[in-house]
Amino acid sequence: MNLTVIGTGYVGLVTGTCFAEMGNNVVCVDVDQAKVEGLRQGKLPIYEPGLEPLVLRNAEQGRLRFTTALAEAMDKTEVFFIAVGTPPGEDGSADLKYVQAVACEIGGLLQNYAVIVDKSTVPVGTAELVRQTVQVELDRRGVDVSFDVVSNPEFLKEGAAIEDFMKPDRVVIGSDSDKARELMRQLYAPFNRNHERTIYMGVRDAEMTKYAANSMLATKISFINEIANLCEKLDVDVENVRKGIGSDSRIGMSFIYPGCGYGGSCFPKDVQALIRMAEATGFDAALLKAVEARNMSQKGWIADRVKERFGDDLSDKTFGIWGLSFKPGTDDMREAPAIVLLADLLAAGARILAYDPVAMETAREELPAEWYESDSLVLTDHQYDALQGVDAMLLVTEWKPFRNPDLDAMKRLMKQYIIIDGRNQYDPKLIRDAGFEYTGVGRSNA
């Protein structure tokens, strides 16, 4: 099948590459000339395990191409995937200007029947907006070309996106057109050989499903963080509580790991957008507001523990931070708890040494330049370099190389033997027996 994916960000590049891997001819379109040139040379704009070899192989074999010109892909395309960004506006609602711009361009070029798929996470009603936008352009051109608009939300986890795409839990297809459903059925057939994973529903239902899914996962995270904070007050070890409730099949272990809050490009943005959608209808999304408020507060957990231990004035203190990305397996720092922590500690006068296995380049590009210029923040080349002379090690992201550290090496490097574990990765008894002071999330009596 001939496909065109508009947008080569995280969703677009993974989608286009995985479809090409299944034998489809895919053209990926992006307005960023430098990004397209880089992709043509095999330079990926994002880090995702397993993605680079797939891009290189499919590009070499001619199934995956990159261009800045949508017109080059119009003649043979059967399905268009809109995978451009929907950044939050000032009020937290999803900004659809890029989606509308793509719909307008498709309408200005469309010659034959095609299915136009909203792959980006978009508010309920966006498919109708896309349909209207395309139709306006067709009418302006005075041409009669039929088309259908489908909602096909992505459910990819950063760090496991290839596996999620190739072996999905479900494929949600929102469409009111039998013709479009059949075309999408054929496209996803290779992903359903083991068992049928496709769920068909209305367009608006599919749009809502994406927001509901991410908001449910965010709710589980904020819930266990709330419980962890209460455990700290009641002298309870939240890790035992987590195991006790997670063993219930109705609850499960997924997404009930206490920590210093969630981040990334999805959960924060989607919860906020769903709140704004609710407000637009006059509905008070009280639970979602609480989820967002708890998460914003939780991002300050490590800084709060630091100030409890060292005081509000940190001008004579140095801290080592392990982990900058919002989660392991990605270089994405959008809405990362580490950014909040850095800002809080630097504002209190601290000096910081920081290390991340993958996100160092992202940090250099996205963090404020003044943090580096004053030498208040130093990005180190190795995780143990970030512990030289520090008053405490602060674990922010639970990368695998951090999970079983060399405690003897840490003691040789650190000024004070203090670990503040924002992801509950360490055994408190083991750490304390080694001579360290340990603080974990909801682990006051561990």
Q: Which residues are identified as catalytic?
A: 266
Separation CA 77–CA 115 (nearest Å): 9
Separation CA 102–CA 4 (nearest Å): 12
Residue 129 contacts by C-beta under 8 Å, 6 or more apart in sequence?
Answer: 96, 99, 100, 103
Task: Kindly state the tokens that stand for 274.
Answer: 């769903």
DSSP code of residue 22: T
Separation CA 365–CA 170 (nearest Å): 36
DSSP 3-state of 83: coil
Paired residues of 3 in beta bridges: 26, 79
> Which residue is associated with the tokens 């268009």?
80
Separation CA 3–CA 6 (nearest Å): 10
Let me know: does 107 contact 138? Beta carbons within 8 Å.
yes
Q: What are phi and psi of 34, to 5 degrees?
A: -65, -40
CA 278, 279, 285 angle in degrees (round to 5)?
55
Other residues' Cβ atoms within 10 Å of the Cβ of residue 302: 30
Let me know: does 299 contact 261? Beta carbons within 8 Å.
yes
Alpha helix (H) residue ranges in 283-329: 286-298, 301-310
Other residues' Cβ atoms within 10 Å of the Cβ of residue 74: 19
Please tell me the total number of residues recorded for the chain in this structure.
446
Q: Where do the DSSP E strands lie in 323-417?
A: 351-355, 377-379, 392-395
Q: What are phi and psi of 84, to 5 degrees?
A: -90, 170
Task: Count CA atoms within 13 Å of residue 381 on its CB side.
Answer: 0
